[in-house]
Amino acid sequence: MTATTGELEFLAKDRAALLWLGIALLVASLSVFLGLREVGAQRTVLGALVENDRAEREVLTGLHQDWGSVAYYTFHLTYDLPSDFAFAALGTRDTAPWKHRVRALALEGQIYETDADNPDFALIGRFDFAFAASMLVPLLLILLLHDLRSRERTAGRYELLSATSASAGSPWFARAALRVGALLLCLIVPLLIGGLLAATSASKLALASLVVTLHIGFWWGVCAAIDRLCWSSPVNLTALIGIWLALASIVPATIKGSVEAAVPLPDGGTIMLTQREAVNDAWDLPKSATMEPFIERHPEWAEYAEISESFEWKWYYAFQQVGDQVAEPLSNAYREGRIKRDRLAGRLAWLSPPALVERTLQGIAGTSMTDSIAYEQRVRDFHSTLRHYYYPRLFRDEAVSDASLRERPEFSAMNK
Amino acid sequence: MTTMLFAKALSVERSGQRVLNNVSFKVDQGEVQALLGGNGAGKSTTLLTFLGFLTPASGSAQVQGKESRDDVGAARRAIAYLPEAATLYDHLNAYENLRYFLSLAKADAHRRTLDAALERVALQAEAREMRMHTYSKGMRQKVAIALAILRESPILLLDEPTSGLDPAAIDDFNRLVRELAEDGRTILLVTHDVYGACHVADRIHLLHKGELAGTFDRPSGIDRIDTEAVHAAFATHAAVS
């Protein structure tokens, strides 16, 4: 029997180690299952919405005879498809909106109106593979490794084990390596099975496995360093839990607080309110108060800027845009602020390996803050295309035709 | 005769205190020697220094002619060590414990070999498959002794090996030690059992407060060292301390 098979047999009879490994397997499997279920539900919702969206536009075709009504009543679904690895790291998909039904009206309110729902989701919390791998796994590793040497010292076996071992590092390295390897298997196997079910690309799975392996390697190093100090098992455990608490909770909380203090930004609700107030006020203002700032932005429509009736669709859509223009500085500040915060948080995350792992996995999954902002930009781009489609028809008062409707832009989701 | 263990003016400090002071002795191949002394005499410290767990403050501890601290691995491969009150794994049975420890030493662990060693230490066959938490202290000690035998190392360092054994088992053990020595194994045992040491050892070193307080040899043609003389020296030092 080799030393490795000896350790393997020994591990197979260590009930405490088997318990922690079983919990690791359960946690990883559950997180993958819940992630697959959540992403499946999101895909089902999107599938139904895409179908409804198309059917609704078909029903509306021919129903309205002026472009103002067509633009007012027609919604366009925009959405962010979950990637093939999103099941493992849901990231911002449960705190930031990933679908909007937008019209050619003022955009800011349409983008941020869903923000008000988010605290409900945030309260429930997220349990995905990224959370398990970044926050829970270090804890399980600590429970597996904290007393490798110390319990042998307490039991009076340390010298016997060391003296019996043929090589200087044995059996401690082999014993720790087997536990680390087993823990890694308990994590990676459910992830790979989830990846197979979700048809995840091999490169993403390989990268995610590497990240998890490096993270476990880091905590193995921490456990080994503490173990070398020759403290008792309870002291080792206390020290390691303290380090885990600091790196997984206190440091990230401090980073979050510092980043928020360093980069203040308006909230989505304020942007929505500013835009809506601007739009509502426009009804009571002289038409010129709307058309002048609109024409400043769109001089190509200057010759159509005169509003002679009490209500004209082109004026209506102009004040929708002006509403967006009023909220624009806030909206830009919000967007740029979030990007700044994200970059700063990304740099500071190196101080907290668990936070860094969670961010990295979200990056692989396309569920990071950067991805959320990119999706928001795609919604803005699409909305801009929509306006550019409607404005010539509204300002020139063209007749609605099937041929023209067929040219109407469609949102196309990006596959990640 | 080849010198297997050599303590040369050996001094060791633990937590800033000198616990072994200028101790010299050597053990040749096939010899049984005992370190005798009360608690804190430096007996176990001497063994741990040969094993490389402790570093000499001065002097040297040599195993097969090499300084043990220079190549701890080589020293430990040459030595089978039985610590005081050896605790094997409670959740394993005797076979599993032996197989595990022998796997660390990369030594043979066939069932027949294990049974032969367990026969030699007189552990009942019916107990061998039982988990060790059901064992008495003496039975545990027998398994630990079997492990030391199975290592097939040329040197055995035994720390209080008869602790927990009943008188019949001690007698068996003493006989076993003599057999191992006749097979060419070198044995250094630590004890405070004067009677047992006199019966099994070729030479006894009396340690007192980290210093060598006397050496007693087995006279030729006699089967044991003079128990009364050793007892008297031991008692004198105990009275002084």
Spatial neighbors of A130 by CB under 8 A, at least 6 apart, are: A88, A89, A90, A91, A357, A358, A361, A362, A365
Spatial neighbors of B78 by CB under 8 A, at least 6 apart, are: B4, B63, B64, B153, B154, B155
Please answer yes or no on whether A164 and B151 come within 8 Å at the CB atom.
Answer: yes
- pLDDT tens, B192-230? 888 889 999 999 999 999 999 999 999 888 888 888 888
pLDDT value at position B239? Answer: 60
Residues from chain B contacting residue A9 (CB–CB below 8 Å): 96, 99-100
- 10 Å Cβ neighbour count for B106? 16
pLDDT value at position B86? Answer: 67
Q: For all residues of chain B together, what is the average pLDDT?
A: 91
- 10 Å Cβ neighbour count for A306? 12
Query: Rounded to whole angstroms, how far apart are CA atoms A36 and B65?
Result: 66
What is the residue extent of each domain of chain B?
3-87+157-240
Please answer yes or no on whether B73 and A163 come within 8 Å at the CB atom.
Answer: no
Please answer yes or no on whether A162 and B92 come within 8 Å at the CB atom.
Answer: no
Please answer yes or no on whether A9 and B96 come within 8 Å at the CB atom.
Answer: yes
pLDDT value at position A116? Answer: 44
CA of B73 to nearest chain A CA: how many angstroms apart? 6
Q: Are A151 and A17 in contact (CB under 8 A)?
A: no
CA of A240 to nearest chain B CA: how many angstroms apart? 26
Please answer yes or no on whether B99 and A6 come within 8 Å at the CB atom.
Answer: yes
DSSP A90: -
A333 contacts chain B (CB < 8 A):
no
Place of tokens 């072994």: B20
Please answer yes or no on whether A156 and B87 come within 8 Å at the CB atom.
Answer: yes
Give one DSSP letter per residue of B99-157, joined into a string. HHHHHHTT----HHHHHHHHHHTT--GGGTTSBGGGS-HHHHHHHHHHHHHHT--SEEE
- 10 Å Cβ neighbour count for A257? 10
Q: Is the pLDDT of residue B190 over 50?
A: yes
H or E element, residue A64:
none
Q: Which residue of B has its CA nearest to A159?
A: B83
pLDDT value at position A114? Answer: 63
CA of B80 to nearest chain A CA: how many angstroms apart? 7
Q: Which residue of A has its CA nearest to B107?
A: A1
Q: Which residue of A has its CA nearest to B52?
A: A163
For residue A215, what are its two tokens? 């993270």
Please answer yes or no on whether A1 and B102 come within 8 Å at the CB atom.
Answer: yes
Residues from chain A contacting residue B86 (CB–CB below 8 Å): 156-157, 160
Q: Is the pLDDT of residue B70 over 80?
A: yes
Flag residues of chain A having pLDDT under 70.
Answer: 1, 114-125, 167-170
Nearest to A218 by CA among A353, A349, A361: A353
In CATH, what number does B3-87+157-240 get?
A: 3.40.50.300
Query: Rounded to whole angstroms, how far apart are CA atoms B52 and A380?
Result: 72
Residue B47: pLDDT band (50, 70, 90) is: very high
- pLDDT tens, B88-145? 999 899 999 999 999 888 887 899 999 999 999 989 999 999 999 999 888 888 899 8
**Where are the strands (E) in A258-357, listed by range?**
none
DSSP A248: I
DSSP A276: H
Residue B238: pLDDT band (50, 70, 90) is: low
Query: Rounded to whole angstroms, how far apart are CA atoms B230 and B201?
Result: 12
pLDDT value at position A59? Answer: 84
Q: Which residue of A has its CA nearest to B83?
A: A160
A170 contacts chain B (CB < 8 A):
yes
**pTM score of the predicted model:** 0.84
Residues from chain B contacting residue A13 (CB–CB below 8 Å): 91-92, 96
Q: Is the pLDDT of residue B21 over 60?
A: yes
Nearest to A72 by CA among A34, A102, A28: A102
Nearest to A85 by CA among A212, A182, A223, A185: A212
Q: What is the ipTM of this complex?
A: 0.87
Residues of chain B with a CB closer than 8 angstroms to some CB in chain A: 48, 51, 53, 72-73, 76-77, 79-89, 91-92, 96, 99-106, 109, 144, 147, 151
Chain center to CA of A150: 41
Query: Rounded to whole angstroms, how far apart are CA atoms A175 and B104?
Result: 11
Residues from chain A contacting residue B96 (CB–CB below 8 Å): 9, 13
Q: Are strands B186-191 and B79-82 parallel, antiparallel or unpaired?
A: unpaired
Interface of A with B in 23-82 (CB under 8 A): none
Q: Helices A202-227 and A233-245: crossing angle, nearest 10°?
A: 130
Radius of gyration of chain B (CA): 18
pLDDT value at position A295? Answer: 92
Please answer yes or no on whether B73 and A9 come within 8 Å at the CB atom.
Answer: no
Strand partners, B66: B63
pLDDT value at position A124? Answer: 52
Q: Is the pLDDT of residue B165 over 90?
A: no
What is the arithmetic mean of pLDDT over B24-29?
96
pLDDT value at position A269? Answer: 82
Q: Are strands B66-67 and A99-102 parallel, antiparallel or unpaired?
A: unpaired
